[in-house]
Amino acid sequence: MSRRSARPPSGRRPGGRRPGGRQPGGRTRRFVATCPQGLEPVLATELEGLGLGPCTPRRGAVAFRGPLSAGYRACLWSRVASRVLVQLGEGPAQDSDALYRTVRGIPWRPHLGPDHTLAVDFVGGNAALRHTGFGARRTKDAICDQLRAATGRRPSIDLEHPDIRVHVHVAGEHCTVSLDLAGDPLHRRSAGVEGGRAPLKETLAAALLLLADWPAAAAAGRALVDPMCGSGSFLREGLAMAVGLPPGLPRRRWGFDRWRAHDRALWEGLVAEARATPRRPPPPVFGYDRDPGALETACAGLAGLGLGEAVRLLRVPLALAEPPTEQPGFVITNPPYGARLGSVADAEAVMALLGDVLRRRFLGWRAFVLTGSPRLARRLGLRPARRIPVWNGRIECRFLDVPISSRPVERDRPDAGPVG
């Protein structure tokens, strides 16, 4: 994966350390960016490319340190992180009373008051803290009891859109307590871009594009085609990455908006810098699908990012898909798995057809296919150079890197009839 992919186009790294100078955002803090399991190295490389290293991959997360600006920068620029957490405290949590004492020992008034709304996310656990709901309740009690003792009032709970989202992670007999800087998970890039049937999360689409080294291909002017684009996650992320659009720029709501320690001037400076960063010219990007509703959703999502002009969306069944450029480019796609949409037999037929279309027509192209099972992967009938395990929600998938020969195939496969 190319480091260039993650670095803001200006090449400056304001989230990183400034030798000898005062760090923007003050004292050094501990951050954790979360991601689906298996994508930790991609996220670590991305964050280091943003100047936020050194990064330490953990299970489903990457840890890094820096001033507050480092956390803000991760929120604004990371395409792969699901959440960005800033640690507020840590301590013993061998049982619920120990957890309560640790949380109550953290000074909460610098972070929130009784007029804030609060939610607690609890992950991990141990023999005495097996139920995440119970752990979350004890955490909430500790915070509310401390604030009531100090002010006579306590914050109320809002599980959907809290002012402050506290994240507790228990591993063994230890807990870390953090503030969720993102609030809503970061794959929700902006309101109105959701929809489609079985859409891929933006953060996963971005991670796969980085694994495929798409930024280098985009910089070389190669085309990107998703022949089953659905709501267009690969198109949006591929284009945003290629032109250098910061993924956090369209978001209107953050987990730090009402945080008492939020440094508004620092954040606004980083946003202004991100806005002013020059964009690169867009490479040719094409999305095909047989479903007009999916194409409408893709169109709306691209328009919402101001990228509508840069993509050609066409209603084309896979059986008729053709390379849109003479120069070989990049195919990246997420065919149906037969899990959420349609049957497994349909999904297998689509994979066989995809293999045939690629072998016969996309000569010399490079294809990347996210597939839901080894059996489906075999139906492609093409030999992958890499098979990378990744999780799409609860489905363990394989991301196949398939170089396609530039020589025409001599014989047609007998088992691939037209589908779609």
Kindly tell me which of 350 and 404 has the beta carbon lying closer to ligand SAM. 350
Residue 324: is the preceding peptide bond cis (ω within 30°)? no
Closer by beta carbon to ligand SAM, 46 or else 237: 237
Distance CA 189, CA 202 (A): 8
Please give the residue whose beta carbon sits closest to ligand SAM in the complex. Answer: 420
Q: Which is nearer to ligand SAM, 266 or 299 (CB)?
A: 299
Binding mask 96-115 for ligand SAM (x = CB under 6 A): --------------------
Q: Which residues of 156-191 are buried (b: 16+ CB within 10 A; e: fewer)?
A: eeeeeebbbbbbbbbeebbbbbbbbbbbbebbbbbe
Identify the residue among 271, 339, 363, 419 touching ligand SAM (CB under 6 A): 419
3-state secondary structure string across 141-179 = HHHHHHHHHHHCCCCEECCCCCCEEEEEEEECCEEEEEE
- 270-299 footprint of ligand SAM as x/- string (CB under 6 A): -------------------xxx--x-----
CA distance 92 to 391: 31
For 54, counting Cβ atoms within 10 Å of its Cβ (0-12 exposed, 13-18 middle, 19+ buried), the class is: exposed
Phi, psi of 287 (to 5 degrees): -125, 130
Based on the shown chain and the rule CB under 6 A, indicate whether residue 45 belongs to the binding site for ligand SAM: no
Taking the C-alpha atoms of 292, 296, 298 and 304 in order, what is their torsion angle to the nearest 10 degrees? 180
| CB nearer ligand SAM, residue 31 or residue 288 | 288
At which residue do the structure tokens 């953090």 appear?
Answer: 178
Nearer to ligand SAM, 121 or 289 (CB): 289
- Measured from the CB atom, the residue of 289 and 348 that comes closer to ligand SAM is 289
Give the residue among 282, 294, 309, 327 at the shortest CA–CA distance from 226.
294
Cα–Cα nearest to 85, from 255, 230, 260: 255
Task: Determine, following the binding rule CB under 6 A, whether residue 334 of this chain makes contact with ligand SAM.
Answer: yes
Q: What are the DSSP E strand ranges found in 296-361?
A: 311-315, 330-333
Considering the complex, what minimum distance in angstroms separates the CB of residue 131 from ligand SAM?
A: 34
Site string for ligand SAM, 170-199 (x = CB under 6 A): --------------------------x-xx
Of 93 and 382, the one with the shorter C-beta distance to ligand SAM is 382
State the nearest-atom distance from the C-beta of 254 to ligand SAM, in Å.
Answer: 24
Query: Shortest Cβ distance from residue 61 to ligand SAM (Å)?
Result: 24
Q: Which two tokens stand for residue 126?
A: 């141990």
Binding-residue pattern over the window 217 to 236 for ligand SAM, x denoting contact by CB under 6 A: -----------x-xx-xx--
**420 sits near ligand SAM (criterion: CB under 6 A):** yes
Residue with smaller CB distance to ligand SAM, 164 or 351: 351
Closer Cβ to ligand SAM, 164 or 305, answer by number: 305
Q: Binder to ligand SAM among 318, 382, 397, 404 (CB under 6 A)? A: 318
Burial of 363 (0-12, 13-18, 19+ CB in 10 A): middle
Q: Cα–Cα distance between 85 and 183 in angstroms, integer? A: 9
Question: To the nearest whole angstrom, how small is the minimum distance from the Cβ of residue 351 to ligand SAM?
Answer: 10
Rounded to a whole number of angstroms, the minimum distance from the CB of residue 344 to ligand SAM is 14
* 339-368 binders of ligand SAM (CB under 6 A): 350
Instruction: Give the nearest distance from C-beta 305 to ligand SAM in angstroms.
Output: 14
Least separation, in Å, of the C-beta of 247 and ligand SAM? 15
Cross-sheet strand order for the sheet of 366-371: 311-315, 285-289, 224-226, 330-333, 366-371, 395-403, 386-392
Instruction: Say which residue the tokens 């007009």 belong to.
Output: 292
Number of residues that bind ligand SAM (CB under 6 A): 21
Vertex 68: Cα angle to 66 and 73 (nearest 5)? 85
Of 139 and 231, which has the nearer Cβ to ligand SAM?
231
Q: Which residues bind ligand SAM (CB under 6 A)?
A: 196, 198-200, 228, 230-231, 233-234, 289-291, 294, 317-318, 334-336, 350, 419-420
